[in-house]
């Protein structure tokens, strides 16, 4: 009996620690769809929570040589949005109409990987020296990047559309396991986002795509990737959340009928999911969700996605 238990234990450990390293894809159009939000929208003359959101994609497009080293070029296409969340009272001369800024193909960085060392490096625009941004050759208790305050708190695996990938949970001070980094994908904040605990700004990797197929989270839901300014404008869904923060329940009003929603923790873990809806008003019950900050993503009946940050007190 003890031998049988030992064999099972070794097999389970192999799921986490015996996996072969998964390098990053270097194919053109490999895409990271990301979101950033904070409470510093410019339109703050109205009462209510002023919100600034960024919905965008990062993608690989071609090579560049810096010194004698070949890198992959990373570009960004997306939109910035400023608006007032919740019921707004606007004095004369002030408006709560959302303001948008759209942009395409903005150069972000050059990246390369050392597969043998399990490391990824980036060179920022206008610079010639590279910075280590991912180091997967670490164990629990190690500093994730030399010189940073991030410590590897736990290593497990996450299921993707290409099988299991090793996942490293990072802690920094009192922020326990606040973000995860995944082999061959990057962090749950996004590919190039700085790994710091959330304070007033929050970040999220919505999904990751290779060869037009969604690889992460798991490929069961579509990854909405705007490809032009027209698509970006069409993809904007206005969401109004009130009350927010909330204790027991909140209501989300959308500009279009919603067919489903998903709630994620700050670390990008799916904590709730509901489908089969058809309404512009959604009542979200707290249920068993602990106190904290979450992201809610709402899919419309046309397949368009809206995002909002919610806080449970």
CATH number at residue 252: 2.60.40.1930
Task: Quickly state the pLDDT bin for 104 (edges 50, 70, 90).
Answer: confident
Do 205 and 118 reside in the same domain of the chain? yes
Check if the beta carbon of residue 218 is closer than 8 Å to that of residue 246.
Answer: no
Query: In which residue are the tokens 């950033």 written?
Result: 36
Task: Give the pLDDT confidence score for residue 114 in this predicted structure.
Answer: 98
Task: Give the pLDDT confidence score for residue 230 in this predicted structure.
Answer: 54
Length of the chain: 313
Q: Name which of 244, 231, 227, 255 is nearest 295 in CA terms.
A: 244
Do 42 and 188 reside in the same domain of the chain? yes
Task: Quickly state the pLDDT bin for 2 (edges 50, 70, 90).
Answer: very low
Do 232 and 243 reside in the same domain of the chain? no
Name the strand (E) or helix (H) holding 109.
strand 99-114
Task: Give the pLDDT confidence score for residue 1 in this predicted structure.
Answer: 41
Residue 177 lies in a domain: no
pTM: 0.74
Task: Look at residue 13 and tell me whether its pLDDT is greater than 70.
Answer: no
Residue 72: half-sphere exposure toward Cβ, Cα within 13 Å = 19
Task: Look at residue 10 and tell me whether its pLDDT is greater than 50.
Answer: no
Q: Give the single-character DSSP code of 119.
A: E
Task: Look at residue 5 and tell me whether its pLDDT is greater than 60.
Answer: no
Do 68 and 193 reside in the same domain of the chain? yes
Last residue of a domain, one of 236, 266, 301: 236
What is the extent of the structural domain holding 30? Answer: 19-134+184-236
Task: Look at residue 52 and tell me whether its pLDDT is greater than 90.
Answer: no
Name the token pair of 227: 């490809």
Q: How far is CA 127 from CA 24, 67, 111, 133, 280, in A?
A: 23, 11, 12, 15, 47
Residue 276 lies in a domain: yes
Residue 161 lies in a domain: no
Residue 44 lies in a domain: yes
| Residues 201, 103: Cα–Cα separation, whole Å | 21
Residue 269 lies in a domain: yes
Domain count, the chain: 2
């Amino acid at each position: 009996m003890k031998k049988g238990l030992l064999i099972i234990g070794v097999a389970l450990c192999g799921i986490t620690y015996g996996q072969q390293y998964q390098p990053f894809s270097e194919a053109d159009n490999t895409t990271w769809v990301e979101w950033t939000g904070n409470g510093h929208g410019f339109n703050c003359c109205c009462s209510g929570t002023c919100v600034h959101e960024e919905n965008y994609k990062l993608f690989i497009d071609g090579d560049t040589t810096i010194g004698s080293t070949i890198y992959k070029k990373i570009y960004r296409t997306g939109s910035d949005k400023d608006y007032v969340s919740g019921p707004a009272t606007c004095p004369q001369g002030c408006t709560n109409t959302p303001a948008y800024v759209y942009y395409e193909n903005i150069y972000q960085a050059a990246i390369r990987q050392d597969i043998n060392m399990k490391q990824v490096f980036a060179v920022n625009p206008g610079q010639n020296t590279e910075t280590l941004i991912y180091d997967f050759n670490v164990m629990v208790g190690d500093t994730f990047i030399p010189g940073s305050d991030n410590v590897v708190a736990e290593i497990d695996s996450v299921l993707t559309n290409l099988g299991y990938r090793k996942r490293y949970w990072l802690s920094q001070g009192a922020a326990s396991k606040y973000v995860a980094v995944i082999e061959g994908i990057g962090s749950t904040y996004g590919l190039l986002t700085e790994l710091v605990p959330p304070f007033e700004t929050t970040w999220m990797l919505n999904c990751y795509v290779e060869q037009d197929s969604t690889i992460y989270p798991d490929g069961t839901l579509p990854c909405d990737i705007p490809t032009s300014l027209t698509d970006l404008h069409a993809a904007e869904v206005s969401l109004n959340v009130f009350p927010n923060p909330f204790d027991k329940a909140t209501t989300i009003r959308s500009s279009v009928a919603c067919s489903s929603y998903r709630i994620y923790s700050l670390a990008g873990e799916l904590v709730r999911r509901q489908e089969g809806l058809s309404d512009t008003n959604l009542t979200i019950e707290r249920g068993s969700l602990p106190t904290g900050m979450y992201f809610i993503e709402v899919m419309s009946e046309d397949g368009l996605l809206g995002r909002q940050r919610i806080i449970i007190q």
